[in-house]
């Protein structure tokens, strides 16, 4: 069972797992049967508690109502307790089959219900869903504590772990045993009784606080939407102005224009809006989410979470939460992560200050002597137009969403032979969600892919991948994955056009989806994306490279008349790829560095002022006020309700690998090189967490990467 560990958050990343069909040499002829909780409450009228007859066993979202979730969770929690108690109380000596493999078969009903619910709680968090999440999160945390702090159960796992070299296990089974033991130890199972009790209490409180953070942010984001006048939106591109008018009309404010406080709406506005006062208004609304000294303010929640994380780390014998987190990562230590971040941010700061000089020079033409944070994107776009003859609004007309989806699916087909077939018979949880069946070249079904690309008022910010069902040959289950973005929906009769950044995000999230879909493993705990945070981003980030390849764009980047992107525009786009990278890199890395610094505190001082601390840290780093952070702490979902605490550095760590990994295709002279594609699939995507991620990368690339490729990729070398 996996989701019991994740369900207290809006699942920012669907984490899945991996292993072989070979039984250990000393396994009994038949695996002991475990009562299957999937069929226990079969007489219920609750659609979550009966056998699902939907196509491919997909969640029956057409039948599920909010009132079904809590009773289903209660039944599933009870069934999971029974499963684990049966293993814990087993009088027989522990074996891999009756303990480790039995655990992999346990809690299936809870996995199913948790995945179904938390997919909705992040994508369509209505008040009813939020209320359920508040009630369910502590119950799930409590069960997780019960399982991983159970001394009988840990004793069985620990006994097997100490005997692991004598059990005749396959490499994948060896990995599963080691990872299972590690989960127990890192949950506090080896601590004394008082420490175990305190860790359990901390875990439960953190689960509640994570829910509070996410719900506060969603509420404040909704309340921070900005209504503008016709004068304030004058000069905006037609598609932005039309979408803003439609948003205001849907809110009953026909004479105004709505700019939601979401990145997908705000960044295009800041890039295009000539009205400086309106830019400031929108920028302030966006960057202050969660930090408005109102009922949705997140600062007290942050201070409490950091305090609890530091206390838990000390109980676990670590010097800090960051040290504890990175013990189970590729980086291993905060010092290693910090070293990489500083290696990259140093040249990025130099470049950002050069970029600021360029922006200031062009801003003076508008009699602006000092560029402010709300000016940066607007004047950067002017510099880009001047330097590369590239206009963002004109460029977007060649990036229709449907065309980029076609590009995505063709890329996948060329690399892996995989084909996509849209299904109209699969129930979905919200309007606009689409579903595809994913097949091998020979027609064999791989899994289902749900696409939820558009924003809604009830949707968490950002973009992410969820798993509705993990691939597992032990359970006989094919994967179901979901991609989420927050693209503004088009006005009626209009097509959806997206920016190049949004197109890269489309490819990025599908890279995560492929990691889950192409998994070929036995055990769900090791399946697909169930890898360390600083490796899980590699398959996603390497996939971004294909979207800007000329071979892809010449075919799929087309305007509403079907005309391909002009060659001059394409060449300008390629030349401009490293433009403004100082600004973008400093924004991202300042967030990563503050995440690491915050979680290296051994204690949080009384009266800790999150906003002041954030400002002091940025000043000490030398981050220009005009640049700032990509994610301010008050709305930093990744680290406070998304599982990336002391882990946002992972994007940069993985970029070292993705830049170096894509270099392999360029060195081969074919971005679809069949041999490399097979190796990437076989050695990375199919492997999950069945071996150390460094081994997987080296098996694909033949060696480990260095930061040089990343610096070249960003034009900072």
The phi, psi pair for 570, rounded to 5°, reads -60, -45
Q: Which of 509, 614, 626, 686 is catalytic?
A: 509
Burial zone of 141 (CB within 10 Å; 0-12 exposed, 13-18 middle, 19+ buried): buried
Beta strands at 226-228 and 257-259: parallel, antiparallel or unpaired:
antiparallel
Please name every residue paired with 257 in a beta bridge, in sequence order, or none if there are none.
Answer: 228
What is the spatial distance between Cα 586 and Cα 569, in angstroms, rounded to a whole number?
Answer: 27
Which helix H or strand E contains 480, and what residues bound it? strand 480-487
Q: Which residue has the tokens 């803003």?
A: 244
What the block records as the tokens of 382 is: 């002017």
Report the residue count for the chain.
717
What the block records as the tokens of 65 is: 């109502």
Instruction: Please spell the DSSP secondary structure of 3-63, one letter per residue.
Output: GGGTTTS--SB-------SPPPTT--SSPPP---TTSTTTT-S-TTSS---SGGG---TTT
What is the spatial distance between Cα 228 and Cα 256, in angstroms, rounded to a whole number?
Answer: 6
What is the spatial distance between Cα 260 and Cα 243, in angstroms, rounded to a whole number?
Answer: 11
CA 701 to chain CA centroid, Å, is 25
CA 4 to chain CA centroid, Å, is 18
The phi, psi pair for 38, rounded to 5°, reads -65, -25
What is the spatial distance between Cα 569 and Cα 588, in angstroms, rounded to a whole number?
Answer: 28
What is the spatial distance between Cα 381 and Cα 371, in angstroms, rounded to a whole number?
Answer: 13
Known active-site residue 509: yes
3-state secondary structure 548-562: HCHHHHHHHCECCCC
What is the spatial distance between Cα 311 and Cα 321, in angstroms, rounded to a whole number?
Answer: 8
Query: Is 137 within 8 Å of 208 (Cβ atoms)?
Result: yes
Burial zone of 30 (CB within 10 Å; 0-12 exposed, 13-18 middle, 19+ buried): exposed
Distances (CA, A) of 114 to 10, 197, 449, 587: 11, 25, 18, 34
What is the spatial distance between Cα 263 and Cα 274, in angstroms, rounded to a whole number?
Answer: 19
What is the spatial distance between Cα 63 and Cα 533, in angstroms, rounded to a whole number?
Answer: 35
Please name every residue paired with 396 in a beta bridge, in sequence order, or none if there are none.
Answer: none
What is the spatial distance between Cα 437 and Cα 419, in angstroms, rounded to a whole number?
Answer: 8
Beta strands at 434-439 and 480-487: parallel, antiparallel or unpaired:
unpaired
Catalytic residue numbers? 509
């Amino acid at each position: 069972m996996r989701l019991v560990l994740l369900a207290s958050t809006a699942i920012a990343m669907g984490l899945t797992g991996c292993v072989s069909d070979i039984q250990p040499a000393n396994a009994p002829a038949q695996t002991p049967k475990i009562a299957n909780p999937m069929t226990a409450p079969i007489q219920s009228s609750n659609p979550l508690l009966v056998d699902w007859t939907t196509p491919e066993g997909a969640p029956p979202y057409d039948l599920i109502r909010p009132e079904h979730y809590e009773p289903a969770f209660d039944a599933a929690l009870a069934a999971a307790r029974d499963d684990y108690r049966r293993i814990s109380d087993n009088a027989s000596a522990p074996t891999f089959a009756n303990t480790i493999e039995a655990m992999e078969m346990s809690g299936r009903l809870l996995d199913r219900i948790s995945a179904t619910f938390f997919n909705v709680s992040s994508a369509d968090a209505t008040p009813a869903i939020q209320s359920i999440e508040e009630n369910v999160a502590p119950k799930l945390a409590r069960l997780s504590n019960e399982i991983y702090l159970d001394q009988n159960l840990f004793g069985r796992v620990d006994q097997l772990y100490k005997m692991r070299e004598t059990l005749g296990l396959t490499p994948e089974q060896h990995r599963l045993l080691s990872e299972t033991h590690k989960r127990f130890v890192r949950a506090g199972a080896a601590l004394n009784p008082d420490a175990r009790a305190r860790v359990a209490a901390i875990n439960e409180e953190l689960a509640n606080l994570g829910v509070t953070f996410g719900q506060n942010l969603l509420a404040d984001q909704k309340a921070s939407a900005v209504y503008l006048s016709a004068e304030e939106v004058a000069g905006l591109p037609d598609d932005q102005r039309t979408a803003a008018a439609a948003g205001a009309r849907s809110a009953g404010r026909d004479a105004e224009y709505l700019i939601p406080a979401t990145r997908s709406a705000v960044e295009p506005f800041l890039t295009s809006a000539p009205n400086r006062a309106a830019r400031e208004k929108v920028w302030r609304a966006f960057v202050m989410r969660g930090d408005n000294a109102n009922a949705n303010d997140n600062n007290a929640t942050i201070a409490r979470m950091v305090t609890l994380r530091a206390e838990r780390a000390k109980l676990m014998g670590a010097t800090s939460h960051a040290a504890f987190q990175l013990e189970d990562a590729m980086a291993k230590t905060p010092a290693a992560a910090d070293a990489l971040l500083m290696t990259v941010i140093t040249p990025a700061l130099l470049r950002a200050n050069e970029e600021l000089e360029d922006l200031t020079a062009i801003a003076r033409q508008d009699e602006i002597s000092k560029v402010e944070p709300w000016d940066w994107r607007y004047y950067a776009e002017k510099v880009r137009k001047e330097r590369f003859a590239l206009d963002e609004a004109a460029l977007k007309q060649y990036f229709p969403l449907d065309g980029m989806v076609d590009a995505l699916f063709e890329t996948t087909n060329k690399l892996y032979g995989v084909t996509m077939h849209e299904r109209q018979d699969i129930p979905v949880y919200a309007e606009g969600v689409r579903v595809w069946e994913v097949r091998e070249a020979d027609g064999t079904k791989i899994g289902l892919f749900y696409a939820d690309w558009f924003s809604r008022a009830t949707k968490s910010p950002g973009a992410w991948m969820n798993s509705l069902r993990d691939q597992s040959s032990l359970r006989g289950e094919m994967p179901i994955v979901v991609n989420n973005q927050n693209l503004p929906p088009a006005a009626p009769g209009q097509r959806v056009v997206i920016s190049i950044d949004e197109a890269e995000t489309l490819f990025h999230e599908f890279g995560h989806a492929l990691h889950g879909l192409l998994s070929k493993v036995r055990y769900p705990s090791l399946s697909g994306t169930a890898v360390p945070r600083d490796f899980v981003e590699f398959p996603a980030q390497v996939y971004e490279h294909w979207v800007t390849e000329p071979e892809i764009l010449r075919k799929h980047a087309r305007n509403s008349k079907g005309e391909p992107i002009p060659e001059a525009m394409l060449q300008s786009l390629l030349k401009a790829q490293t433009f403004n990278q100082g600004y973008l890199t400093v924004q991202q890395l300042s967030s990563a560095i503050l995440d690491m610094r915050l979680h290296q505190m051994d204690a949080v001082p009384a009266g800790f002022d999150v906003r002041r601390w954030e400002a002091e840290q940025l000043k000490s780093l030398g981050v220009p006020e005009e640049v700032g952070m990509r994610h301010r702490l008050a709305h930093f979902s990744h680290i406070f309700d998304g599982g990336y605490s002391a882990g946002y550095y992972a994007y940069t760590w993985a970029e070292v690998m993705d830049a170096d990994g894509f270099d392999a295709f360029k060195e081969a002279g074919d971005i679809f090189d069949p041999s490399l594609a097979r190796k990437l699939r076989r050695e990375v995507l199919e492997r999950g967490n069945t071996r150390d991620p460094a081994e997987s990368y080296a098996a694909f690339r033949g060696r480990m990467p260095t930061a040089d490729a990343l610096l070249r990729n960003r034009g900072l070398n």
